Amino acid sequence: ALEISKLRRDTGLVTLDEGFVNTASTRSAITYLNGEEGILRYRGYPIEKLAEQCDFIETAFLLIYGELPTRDQAEKFRSGIREHTMIHEDMKRFYDGFPTHSHPMAILSCVVGSMSAFYQDSIDPNDPYQVEISIYRMMAKLPTIAAYSYKKSLGQPFMYPNNSLNYCENFLHLMFATPTREYLVDPDFAEALNLLLIVHADHEQNCSTSTVRMVGSSNANVFASISSGINALWGPLHGGANEACVRMLERIANDGGNVRKYVDMAKDKNSDFRLMGFGHRVYKNRDPRATIIKASCDKLLGKLNLDDPLFEVAQQLEEVALKDEYFIEKKLYPNVDFYSGVIYRALGIPVQMFTVLFALGRLPGWLAHWKEMHDNPATRINRPRQIYTGSPERPFVAMNRR
């Protein structure tokens, strides 16, 4: 409900829209999303076409710079990214200070935040050259920083990036190779990862992207803004949903696989249990990203033929919930995170890394929005108003009378 309150004459009308359900925070030319019809386009191109024809780096270029790259532009972008894949050796010492079982998202946001300290020659938001370098640095170093957070949890040595591999292959190498064992990247794994990164690359004014714009609107640098976006992404109602989804599937599998019991529990208003990976704030018909990666998920599971009860539970849950009146009436369909969690599991990515993978995918969107916001001369610092609901003025009570 939209509540309108008349504040003092000098501030005019203030609208209250809890959760920004009907309030646009900005104009943007990056992503078009129609939740009723299940349409998603980056810079005018349907997500289905990009997923079919592009790789993640071309998609990132499109989002950030507004046009699909020519062959030369794509090559320049790729080689620029390759140039920056290593992180400063001193940054690695950060990892020593984290407790072994730290959540990788906690590490990711801290280490990305520290980039403002390590790369001081690219933190001036008003210098286009520095901004450009910071975009390359972010794209190049995030996979390295992300994979090191996983290596830290295993106590394994960090691998140097392998620049003869493509973006997704290199990430899998950083995650799974060791100094004593080469990791031969399965092309189907790299392809599935590439697809997942593309479908996650932008989603207009979601919580983390709005956070990046909000922080950036104060003229904070790219690294500081992206680090804030990573923290916003972590919550289970946003990027943390894929992890929460697989943990829920594990719980159901360990509880005998009784899917119906959990569907009923999600419908019970006295329980705070929700089916993770179902429902979406904007898509009230179908999530087009879910359709794309469901196909990839089915293909991968078919190829791998893994003996994992969790995949069976996922399939049953999808079937039961899609036929259930409650889910039909409330238009709660599996969202992208339902299938992405299952694919990550099939790829052997540990569950605590799922949201980190989401961050890798969303990075170009964050960068594109930071840049769009910053390049727009009409941008003002984001500063929402509030409707005050506290006490009216009251007399101060001295300590000895409280």
DSSP calls for 270-336:
TS----TTB--SS-SS--HHHHHHHHHHHHHHHHH----HHHHHHHHHHHHHHH-HHHHHTT--B-H
Nearest CB to ligand ACO, comparing residues 311 and 333: 333
For ligand ACO, the binding residue among 193, 266, 290, 300 (CB under 6 A) is 266
| Nearest-approach distance from CB 135 to ligand ACO, in angstroms | 23
For ligand ACO, the binding residue among 337, 345, 359, 364 (CB under 6 A) is 337
Nearest CB to ligand ACO, comparing residues 20 and 160: 20
Secondary structure class of 366 (helix, strand, coil):
helix
Please, which of residues 30-89 interact with ligand ACO by CB under 6 A?
A: none
**Sequence-separated contacts (24+) of 73-81 with Cβ below 8 Å:** 78/167, 80/136, 80/140, 81/57, 81/136, 81/139, 81/140, 81/167
Nearest CB to ligand ACO, comparing residues 228 and 335: 335
Nearest CB to ligand ACO, comparing residues 115 and 246: 246
In the bound state, the residue with its beta carbon closest to ligand ACO is: 279
> What gap in Å lies between CA 281 and CA 283, rounded to an integer?
6
> What gap in Å lies between CA 339 and CA 109, rounded to an integer?
25
Please, which of residues 311-330 interact with ligand ACO by CB under 6 A?
A: 330
Judge whether 130 and 123 are in contact, CB under 8 Å: yes
For ligand ACO, the binding residue among 195, 230, 241, 253 (CB under 6 A) is 241
| Nearest-approach distance from CB 149 to ligand ACO, in angstroms | 21
Q: What is the CA radius of gyration of the chain?
A: 22
> What gap in Å lies between CA 359 and CA 356, rounded to an integer?
5
Give which of 231, 191, 189 is closest to 212, Cα–Cα. 231
> What gap in Å lies between CA 67 and CA 44, rounded to an integer?
10
Nearest CB to ligand ACO, comparing residues 106 and 265: 265
| Nearest-approach distance from CB 91 to ligand ACO, in angstroms | 29
Say how far residue 259 (Cα) sits from the centre of its chain: 28
33 - beta bridge partners?
40
Judge whether 60 and 364 are in contact, CB under 8 Å: yes
Say how far residue 317 (Cα) sits from the centre of its chain: 24
| Nearest-approach distance from CB 262 to ligand ACO, in angstroms | 10
Q: Which stretch binds ligand ACO (CB under 6 A): 57-65, 97-105, 181-189, 334-342?
A: 334-342
Q: Which stretch binds ligand ACO (CB under 6 A): 1-9, 147-155, 272-280, 381-389?
A: 272-280
| Nearest-approach distance from CB 339 to ligand ACO, in angstroms | 11
| Nearest-approach distance from CB 306 to ligand ACO, in angstroms | 23
Tell me how many residues contact ligand ACO (CB under 6 A).
Answer: 17
Nearest CB to ligand ACO, comparing residues 115 and 263: 263
For ligand ACO, the binding residue among 81, 332, 353, 368 (CB under 6 A) is 332
Cβ-based neighbour number of residue 62 at 10 Å? 23
> What gap in Å lies between CA 195 and CA 210, rounded to an integer?
24
| Nearest-approach distance from CB 275 to ligand ACO, in angstroms | 4
Cβ-based neighbour number of residue 277 at 10 Å? 27
Residues in contact with ligand ACO, shown as a per-residue x/- string from 200 to 239 under the rule CB under 6 A: -------------------------------------xx-
Start-to-end Cα distance in the chain? 39
> What gap in Å lies between CA 107 and CA 93, rounded to an integer?
12
Q: Which residues are catalytic?
A: 280, 337
Residues in contact with ligand ACO, shown as a per-residue x/- string from 274 to 293 under the rule CB under 6 A: xxxxxxxx------------
For ligand ACO, the binding residue among 64, 336, 347, 363 (CB under 6 A) is 336
Nearest CB to ligand ACO, comparing residues 185 and 321: 321
List residues binding ligand ACO (CB under 6 A).
237-238, 241, 266, 274-281, 330, 332, 335-337
